[in-house]
Chain A
Amino acid sequence: MSTVYFTKDHEWVKVTGDEGVIGITDYAQKALGDVVFVELPAIGLDLAQGAEAAVVESVKAASDVYSPVSGTVVATNQAVVDQPGLINEAPEEGGWFFSLRLSNPSELDELMDRAAYDEFLTGLE
């Protein structure tokens, strides 16, 4: 059973056990436009919550992706490096960025669930 959490910087983290898969939200990919380039963290890298973990670029914008929680990088999604368009097509599925082994799961309490994130987005309009 997994649960998805969201940040105000428009990242999501899907947590199963002590592992979290991280990507950017549909809102974020729409704001960026066609993604042309992704830079992912190295496997084994220890990331603190809020640390710059990845870079995502469209033709007109470049944005840092921050780690929603602390942990160690255990996997990265080579598919989005080869086909950055996956992030536009399926941001919360095939367009994931990397996964972490969580070192401090209590940080999840600070994040939003989907309903809270949707409400947060409504507030941005």
Chain B
Amino acid sequence: MTETISGSRGLSIEEPLLFEQGSPGQCGVDLETPPDLPDHLGGLRRRQPAALPGLAEPTVVRHFTRLSQKNFGIDSVFYPLGSCTMKHNPRLNEKLARLAGFADVHPFQPESTVQGALALIDLAAHWLKTLTGLPAIAMSPAAGAHGEFCGLMTIRAALEDRGERRTRVLVPESAHGTNPASAAACGFTVDPIPATSRGRVDVGALKAKLGDDVAAVMLTNPNTCGLFENDILEIAEAIHGVGGFFYGDGANFNAIVGRVTVADLGIDAMHINLHKTFSTPHGGGGPGAGPTVLSDALAPYAPLPAVVHDAGGFHLVEHAAGSGLKPCGRIKGFHGQFGVFVRALAYMMSMGADGLRQAASDAVLNANYLQARLSGELTPSFDGPCMHEALFDDRFLKDSGVTTLDFAKALIDEGFHPMTMYFPLVVHGALLMEPTETESKETLDRFIDSVRGLAQRAKQGNAAEFLSAPAHTPRRRLDETAAARTPELRWRPEKKV
């Protein structure tokens, strides 16, 4: 193929950095002239203005539009990224979050002027508590890992209030990396629990590690292999038997919403990723929200603020004194991810109790359909039905010269976002596919055709085409080693050519 003169390729247009464009005379905003008054800066006026380029609005809009065209999003492609729940993000959520009564409200306005905002937090909390069956909730965690941190801090505060200093937290090897990191951040030592050959927690090994120094067991259910931990009641009983708490990682709550009552599983605390289960956008990596439901025993120790209600309306509890609570403190500025709550509540109200249950059913159905129809060509890691995601390992690629990574990159050329690779760590060369309930059967069938076709090609000895994939993207494989050896983390003026 002849290279173009510009370097662009039709719809894939080369776009320089902001800092390589513009000129000092340009500006993308028009501001009023300030009143002419002497300054009160005490001589601390900035000596060297930030060297940001001047750009008019058309240049800025085109720049970011072109950048957007270099991205895969759920809106444009099937995005079966296991454990990430890339479901459709309804636009109604976006519209409602932008209502002035939600978007243009300050966190420290007098309570009388934000009754609607407090009512919204309370209503979102009501839905989440009802869906899980747990009686209390901390709304302020900003994301899943922050929810884990919230739950473990609450557990620690409850234990200390009992006069107990427990040091260990048990975490399965298959857990997300955030679990051990969050436990460490709360001052616990992490004790890993192995998995069985069935992809579940080894209950015998777990029980052997229990003792009166164990603060909590953290368990993701459905787990990161996409399987339901069917011994969960026995695990709950065991940890409760030694006086510890049972923390549920709700990252995969989307598989069981409306079909399983979390409280009935013996769970004491669980965070809920609103940006997964409740359809709020991932936005290229955030913002998320990780409200954490709590048992009655843990409720008094939840971090502040809390929304309460009495005859006078809604109130925000911001201080422990006089509240009757024993909060573990405050873990987030202001009152949590309010804008995310609006979106999640709009979704919950749209779906309703019936729709949420149907969504979980369809998510599990879609994953099992993928698993069933791909098992002939790929190698599923475990027998039996999966929940919301299907896990394969790389045995089907044995001796093909193609790795899981190569296979995933070839899927990009087929117009699909790759599945999650090399996670969970408990199987070799993992390929974890989570279709979600918002994909049609037609989409799944097209994906299945591509995956099966690629698997056949790999087995037929076409390794070379996999190794060079992707070929049809704005950039081909990027050199991550060079990036890490000599980190260039910002544009610098002297680099301008």
Which residues on A are within 8 Å of B, measured CB to CB?
33-34, 36-37, 57-60, 84-85
Contact = CB atoms under 8 A, between A and B. Distances in A.
Chain B's interface size range is under 10
Given A34-B481, A37-B484, A59-B484, 6 more contacts: A33-B481, A36-B481, A36-B485, A37-B485, A59-B481, A85-B485
B488 interface: no
A64 B217 CA distance: 26
A91 to B, nearest CB: 16
Contacts of A33: 481
Main secondary structure of the interface of B (DSSP, over half): helix
A85 B317 CA distance: 56
B480 interface: yes
A58 B484 CA distance: 8
Contacts of B481: 33-34, 36, 58-59
Contacts of A34: 481
Interface string B420-434: 001000000000000
B351 to A, nearest CB: 38
Contacts of B480: 59
Contacts of A59: 480-481, 484
B481 to A, nearest CB: 4
Interface string B461-497: 0000000000000000000110011000000000000
Contacts of B485: 36-37, 84-85
A85 B484 CA distance: 12
A85 to B, nearest CB: 7
A15 B344 CA distance: 63
Contacts of A60: 422
A37 B484 CA distance: 8
A9 B274 CA distance: 41
Nearest to A33: B481
15 contacts: A33-B481, A34-B481, A36-B481, A36-B484, A36-B485, A37-B484, A37-B485, A57-B484, A58-B481, A59-B480, A59-B481, A59-B484, A60-B422, A84-B485, A85-B485
A84 B482 CA distance: 11
Contacts of A57: 484
A57 B481 CA distance: 11
A25 to B, nearest CB: 20
A112 B481 CA distance: 32
Contacts of A36: 481, 484-485
Nearest to A36: B484
Contacts of B484: 36-37, 57, 59
Nearest to B486: A36
B394 to A, nearest CB: 16
A8 B440 CA distance: 51
Residue in A34, A37, A57, A58 whose Cβ sees the most chain B Cβ within 10 Å: A34
B192 to A, nearest CB: 16
A33 B481 CA distance: 9
Contacts of A84: 485
Residue in A36, A57, A58, A84 whose Cβ sees the most chain B Cβ within 10 Å: A36
A85 B486 CA distance: 12
A58 B481 CA distance: 8
A33 B484 CA distance: 13
Nearest to A82: B485
A33 B405 CA distance: 14
B425 to A, nearest CB: 11
A125 to B, nearest CB: 14
B292 to A, nearest CB: 29
A33 B403 CA distance: 15
Nearest to A84: B485
Nearest to B422: A60
Nearest to B484: A36
Nearest to A59: B480
A37 B486 CA distance: 10
A11 to B, nearest CB: 23
A34 to B, nearest CB: 4
B398 to A, nearest CB: 14
A85 B422 CA distance: 24
Interface in B369-422: 422
Contacts of B422: 60
